[in-house]
Amino acid sequence: MASSLVLPSTAQLAGHWQLHQGDQVCALDLQEQANSLGGDVACVAQWLGEKPLTWSPTPDGIWLMNAEGSGITHLNRQKEGEYEGRTKSGGVVALRRTP
């Protein structure tokens, strides 16, 4: 039987998250209003190569976007509350919802 991906709403994904690279962690808040980002975006920018300002849900993950609205990285859904993507330099980052 075929399964189809469902686009989650911003309300479903909004909240407190942590972006992990190795044993380092940056706090990241996905905010429902205007799909803006809060938390330590400067920390996240060190890994991604540019500062993410907005985010957008996709059926299979989450896009983090820059000031121009261009995608910086797509985080692919691994399981409920966990997404994984790559930096421009090829490093792996994991986004996990904080309890």
Give per-10-residue mean pLDDT for the chain (99 aa): 78 97 97 96 96 97 97 97 95 96
The CATH number of whichever domain residue 30 belongs to comes to 2.40.128.10
Answer for the pair 12, 84: CB distance below 8 angstroms, yes or no.
Answer: no
| Element containing residue 81 per DSSP (H, E) | none
The DSSP secondary structure of 30-54, one letter per residue, reads E-SGGGBEEE-HHHHHHHHSS---E
| Residue 2: per-residue pLDDT | 54
pLDDT at 73: 97
Q: Give exposure, 14-44, as e/b (b: 16+ Cβ within 10 Å).
A: beebebbbeeeebebbbeeeebebebbbeeb
Structural domain span for residue 38: 13-97
6 assigned to some structural domain? no
7 occurs within a structural domain: no
Give me 92's structure tokens: 């792996």
Give domain status of residue 17, yes or no: yes
The pLDDT of residue 6 is: 83
Flag whether 1 is in a domain: no
Find where tokens 């691994």 sit.
78
Report CA-CA distances (Å) from 93 to 19, 68, 82: 7, 22, 11
- As for how many domains the chain has, the answer is 1
User: Is residue 46 in some structural domain?
Assistant: yes
Q: Establish if 18 belongs to a structural domain.
A: yes
